[in-house]
Amino acid sequence: MTSPRGEPATPEEAAAVIAAVEQFLRDTVAPVVTAPAGPAPWLRASLLEGVGREPDEPSPWGTGHAWV
């Protein structure tokens, strides 16, 4: 690294720059998003409607649960 004057940065200056970049990365990281446990209720309803099933019938997708 060099300063605006063209002189090499001191180890302390280089460490300060790296620390600032690391802090910026920590501050701006995207939050972790977890996937939903199952299909959204509207998606499930539309899939059941599309295959002509009632909500209490077995799932046509092989899940073994009538509610999935």
Flag whether the pTM goes above 0.85: no
* Backbone torsions φ then ψ of 49, nearest 5 degrees: -65, -40
Are 24 and 7 within one domain? Answer: yes
Are 28 and 40 within one domain? Answer: no
Task: Note the pLDDT of residue 51.
Answer: 72
Are 45 and 26 within one domain? Answer: no
Are 27 and 40 within one domain? Answer: no
Are 49 and 61 within one domain? Answer: yes
* Overall domain count for the chain: 2
Are 12 and 25 within one domain? Answer: yes
Task: Note the pLDDT of residue 27.
Answer: 94
Span 18-66, pLDDT tens digits: 999 999 999 999 988 887 777 777 887 787 777 776 767 766 666 655 5
Are 10 and 27 within one domain? Answer: yes
Tokens 């002189």 correspond to what residue? 7
Residue numbers of the domain that contains 7 = 1-33
Closest CA to 51 of 41, 61, 65: 61
